[in-house]
A and B are shown apart, each in its own frame.
Chain A
Amino acid sequence: MVAILVVFTIILFVGADLVVQWVRQRRARTVLVAQASRGSAADLLLPTLQPERFSLPGGLFFHRGHTWVNLLFSGQVKVGVDDFLQRLLGHVDAITLPPIGVEVKQGQPFVAIRQGGRTATLPAPVDGVVCAVNGELAKAPGLLKRDPYTRGWLVALRPTNLAANLPQLRVGENALVWLKAELARLQEFLHITLTIKRDALVGATAADGGLLADGLLEHLDDETWAEFQARFLRA
């Protein structure tokens, strides 16, 4: 009987927690809707959308579709996703990389990231031929999130048109200016979306009722997701 008692108590507490979570999500959504009607839902995101919260290594070149390029001594370049996208993305289920030998073009989709039933395609930051892919990502897609700039690299390219491509990318101070602009744009995007569609955001609240940028995309409905992809992961 004691075993039953203890097991039952544990189940009781877990059940209570599920109820608490459910209630909190519902309440958070009502708060959001209320905020949205005052046009300030996205303001809740403000603290987590500060540029200093995002990592932006100085030596990398950033494409406006949130991929980066690292010029290597050998002449090859390494390519990956930036911290902004990694944060917003949340969990990653699988990553599809291009086969070795394939030629990619700047701005053209070259990598697909799957999350649940949805897929985001990323634009290639430069023209080039794929000469290596990060095999570790197949085993552990989470690397992309944990270490987007080093161990989470996507592919290595032999660039074919670097001189023409590089001016399209941002580096150093330019990259920082661009990141700030992107954050402002995101703010605006969420603001407008949530004002029009109040239930586009499905319970992405922190413990204190605020919104979190981390994993934000997980909580957007499919339509808003597609909209985000079109506006931020652009060519």
Chain B
Amino acid sequence: MRKDAEAMNDTRWPEITFWRLVFLVLAATGTVVAILRYSRGLGATTNLSDQFPWGLWIGFDVLTGVGLAAGGFTITAVVHLFNLKRFTPIVRPTVLTAFLGYVFVILALLFDLGQPHRIWHAIVMWNPRSVMFEVAWCVMLYTTVLALEFSPIVFERLNLERPRRIVRAISVPLVIVGVILSTLHQSSLGSLYLIVPMKLHPLWYSPLLPVFFFVSAMAAGLAMVIVESSLCQRAFNHHLEMDLLEPLGRAMVVVLSVYGILRVQDLARRGALLGLRRPGYEGSMFLLEMGLGVLLPIILLAIPRVRARQPGLVTGAFLAILGFVMHRLNVSVTGMERAAGVAYFPSWMEIALSLALVAAGFAVFGLAVRYLPIFPEAPHRASGVEAPAWLLARSASMVAGGSPEPLSPPSAPAGVK
């Protein structure tokens, strides 16, 4: 009877909800813009110019997109290398987000590059002294690593036991390679701007740019896991695992504090803080970025009572993400405008295409959740069938084995978080 109901659900034409409508509109405009961009060229569709060659597609789609996908390497490292296995339930959605993030970064690049059909040149034409070359290779390799890390989920769905076992066998080296590649290219996105000391505003230019990019990406990655979990709860009625997410909030306080202190110290040492006494355009943007996007989330998440509740935790993480987005765009746009001598504001087509890419990301995520085992379910849901004997036997042996002491904390009563 349930099967029948489900079958009916599947064949039924999907209901038109608000967000599905928004998606259709965004996807349609995005398609039109994509056609225009390839038929008319960059100049006709974007507000880019010789003075401002990198705009929204690089600043948001690439720099921000890669950073927001940083949850992938943080969480896999925590679970597989530091062996904090209780975070296992969030590995799959996080790896999926990271993988989709990188795929969409590459898609965005295919729109932004002037000669997209030659994107493969980076594979055969090497310039090891170029930061861009290193980023290209790391992104390429890391996307492959993410695809491999994600592949067991697909194999699981298709019941392919052999390939699944092969990938599982190399999972630890895979995670190590993934972490190294991420460290390299997250920081290298900052190194891209090391070469423009006289163009990037002193509030953002620093020899430490690669460090800033790396540390802030870690914070953003953690924040994304939190916000994403709450989005999943809302979209798929999947329960928010507060006991898993709360420690991530705590970790964010540490990472954000390190980041904030490094930034301020660096600015003070270079004397750039003085310019903030009378903040102009750049100064205001900087204060907004650091105040709302770094300081406020630190304060919010540092308060245990705020962090322990979903609204507080998600708000803190959300603000940190906004701060991260502001940082990347301040580096790539705000900080470069004065030297360029022109103000850059994206054309509607640049905005529409970016929105369409994000929307497509959401849609693919939704489909993946629907058709692949992304969220862990109760491992056995058969009714009255035989007990998962091995599980019960193993846990039984732990108590049966001898004194129960190792299982109980010294001070009773236990419990009460």
Asked whether any CB of A lies within 8 Å of a CB of B in the complex, the reply is: yes
A-to-B contact residues, CB < 8 Å: 1-7, 9-11, 14, 16-17, 20-21, 47, 50-60, 70, 72-74, 76, 78, 83, 90-91, 93-101, 131-135, 137-143, 145-147, 149-151, 153, 156, 172-173, 175-176, 179, 206-208, 212, 214-215
Which residue on chain A has the smallest CB distance to residue B400? A74
Tell me the complex Cα distance, A57–B390, Å: 12
Is B387 a contact partner of A59 (Cβ separation < 8 A)?
yes
Is B382 a contact partner of A55 (Cβ separation < 8 A)?
yes
Rounded to whole Å, the gap between the CB of A76 and the closest CB of chain B is 6
Rounded to whole Å, the gap between the CB of A160 and the closest CB of chain B is 16
Is B240 a contact partner of A96 (Cβ separation < 8 A)?
no
- Choose the segment among B111-119, B151-159, B256-264, B323-331 that binds chain A (4+ C-beta atoms closer than 8 Å): B323-331
Which residue on chain B has the smallest CB distance to residue A132? B404
Is B383 a contact partner of A51 (Cβ separation < 8 A)?
yes
* B side interface size, CB within 8 A: 75
Is B18 a contact partner of A20 (Cβ separation < 8 A)?
yes
Q: Given A74-B399, A131-B404, does the pair A14, B414 have CB atoms closer than 8 Å?
A: no
Rounded to whole Å, the gap between the CB of A135 and the closest CB of chain B is 4
Chain B residues positioned under 8 Å from A55 (CB to CB) = 378, 380-383
The number of inter-chain residue pairs (CB within 8 angstroms) is 197
Contact residues of B between 360 and 417, Cβ < 8 Å to A:
376, 378-389, 391-392, 394-396, 399-401, 404-405, 407-409, 412-417
**Residue B59, interface by CB 8 Å:** yes
Which residue on chain A has the smallest CB distance to residue B89? A146
Given contacts A2-B333, A207-B237, 18 further A-B contacts (CB under 8 A): A1-B345, A2-B345, A3-B329, A9-B351, A10-B321, A55-B381, A58-B385, A90-B239, A94-B417, A97-B412, A132-B399, A135-B414, A137-B414, A142-B241, A142-B244, A149-B388, A150-B388, A151-B395
Rounded to whole Å, the gap between the CB of A1 and the closest CB of chain B is 6
Q: Given A72-B399, A140-B86, A140-B243, does the pair A56, B383 have CB atoms closer than 8 Å?
A: yes
Specify the main secondary structure of chain B where it touches its partner: helix
Chain B residues positioned under 8 Å from A60 (CB to CB) = 387
Which residue on chain A has the smallest CB distance to residue B387? A57
B60, B381, B405, B415: the one within 8 Å of A96 (CB):
B415
Which residue on chain B has the smallest CB distance to residue A14? B318
- Between A and B, 30 residue pairs with Cβ closer than 8 Å are A1-B345, A2-B329, A3-B326, A5-B346, A6-B56, A6-B329, A10-B321, A11-B322, A14-B318, A20-B19, A21-B234, A54-B381, A58-B385, A58-B387, A72-B400, A78-B395, A91-B239, A93-B242, A95-B416, A133-B407, A133-B408, A133-B413, A141-B417, A142-B243, A142-B244, A145-B239, A150-B392, A151-B395, A153-B395, A156-B407
Chain B residues positioned under 8 Å from A20 (CB to CB) = 17-19
Is A176 a contact partner of B408 (Cβ separation < 8 A)?
no
Tell me the complex Cα distance, A47–B346, Å: 49
Rounded to whole Å, the gap between the CB of A117 and the closest CB of chain B is 12
Tell me the complex Cα distance, A151–B395, Å: 8
Tell me the complex Cα distance, A176–B243, Å: 32
Is A78 a contact partner of B399 (Cβ separation < 8 A)?
yes
Rounded to whole Å, the gap between the CB of B312 and the closest CB of chain A is 14
Tell me the complex Cα distance, A59–B239, Å: 28
Chain A residues positioned under 8 Å from B412 (CB to CB) = 97-101, 133
Is B322 a contact partner of A76 (Cβ separation < 8 A)?
no
Q: Given A2-B59, A132-B407, does the pair A57, B380 have CB atoms closer than 8 Å?
A: yes
Chain B 344-367 interface mask (CB, 8 Å, partner A; 1/0)? 111000010001000000000000
Is B346 a contact partner of A52 (Cβ separation < 8 A)?
no
Chain A residues positioned under 8 Å from B376 (CB to CB) = 146
Chain B residues positioned under 8 Å from A101 (CB to CB) = 412
**Residue B15, interface by CB 8 Å:** yes
Q: Given A6-B325, A76-B404, does the pair A175, B384 have CB atoms closer than 8 Å?
A: yes
